[in-house]
């Protein structure tokens, strides 16, 4: 295969972490993350409205069947990890799963880095470490809320078990578990987008397709892992089992 010098220059121009900023109340916000996040939210909400606009007792049409399949799938995740009180956590687990799932699929299917902007670059929301860490912190806040709601402030007694000496380690563990998920999610999505962008520049037609298919599979697995472990952490805080 012969690669032209112009293609090599294009590949060299691919950069990571370029942003365009919105200045709001003295804060610098990553504009491209908000734009693509709104696109993801629009797609998820749009699909939900299509799936629930004409509900029938016996599911009819692709949208209602698809949405019911997603709801049942998320319910199975929540029930297996949380137990009998799983229903109140289905909306959170489902929202988390769908946001990551759609974001990852957009990252695998769309060569965002080839869309040139005057400043910065477009990318899947999960391509930005701030997004994945925010999801991790939201998960942490949720299972703290679940534990306190179920057990009151006695929930924090777990940090003194089996001995008060382990207090700093127990506290650190509660934050490192979801944060490790956020770094894994960020790394996989970023690597997949870069691979697709480079292969699209080199061989624009056929070669990127297997990588895209692999990216779809990997993105789906990442969404499942994040949602399942988030449900498991909530289950631990609510039921107190490990």
Question: Is 200 within a domain?
Answer: yes
Residue 14, burial from CB neighbour count under 10 angstroms (0-12, 13-18, 19+): middle
* Distance, CA of 234 to CA of 69 (rounded, Å): 23
pLDDT digits (tens, 9 = 90+) for 176-227: 777 787 887 887 777 776 776 666 666 665 656 777 777 788 888 888 988 9
Judge whether residue 158 has pLDDT over 90.
no
Question: Is 223 within a domain?
Answer: yes
Question: Is 9 within a domain?
Answer: no
> Quick one: average pLDDT of 123-145?
86
pLDDT digits (tens, 9 = 90+) for 38-61: 999 999 999 888 888 777 777 777
Question: Is 10 within a domain?
Answer: no
Q: Who contacts 101 (Cβ-Cβ below 8 Å, separation ≥6)?
A: 219, 220, 223
Q: How confident is the model at residue 14 (pLDDT cuts 50, 70, 90)?
A: very low
Question: Is 230 within a domain?
Answer: yes
Question: Is 141 within a domain?
Answer: yes
Domains of the chain: total: 1
Which domain range does residue 85 map to? 17-239
pTM value is 0.80
Question: Is 103 within a domain?
Answer: yes
Task: Name the region of 3 (left: φ>0; alpha: ψ -120 to 50; beta: rest).
Answer: beta
> Quick one: average pLDDT of 57-76?
85
Structure token pair of residue 100: 């990551």
Question: Is 110 within a domain?
Answer: yes
**Between 189 and 135, residue with greater pLDDT:** 135
């Amino acid at each position: 295969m012969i690669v032209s010098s112009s293609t090599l220059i294009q590949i060299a121009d691919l950069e990571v972490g370029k942003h365009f900023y919105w200045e709001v109340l003295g804060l610098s916000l990553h504009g491209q993350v908000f734009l693509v996040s709104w696109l993801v939210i629009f797609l998820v909400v749009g699909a939900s409205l299509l799936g629930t606009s004409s509900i029938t007792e016996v599911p009819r049409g692709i949208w209602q069947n698809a949405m019911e399949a997603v709801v049942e799938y998320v319910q199975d995740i929540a029930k297996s990890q949380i137990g009998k009180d799983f229903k109140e956590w289905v909306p959170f687990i489902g929202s988390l799963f769908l946001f990551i799932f759609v974001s990852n699929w957009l990252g695998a299917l769309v060569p965002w880095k080839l869309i040139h902007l005057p400043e910065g670059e477009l990318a899947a929301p999960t391509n930005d470490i701030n997004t994945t860490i925010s999801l991790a912190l939201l998960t942490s806040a949720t299972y703290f809320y679940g534990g306190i709601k179920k057990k009151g402030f006695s929930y924090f007694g777990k940090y003194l078990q089996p001995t008060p000496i382990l207090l700093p380690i127990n506290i650190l563990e509660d934050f490192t578990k979801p944060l490790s998920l956020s770094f894994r999610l960020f790394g996989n999505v970023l690597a997949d987008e870069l691979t697709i962008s480079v292969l699209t520049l080199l061989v624009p037609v056929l070669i990127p397709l297997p990588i895209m298919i692999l990216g779809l599979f990997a993105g789906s697995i990442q969404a499942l892992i994040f949602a399942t472990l988030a449900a498991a952490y909530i289950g631990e805080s609510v039921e107190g089992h490990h």
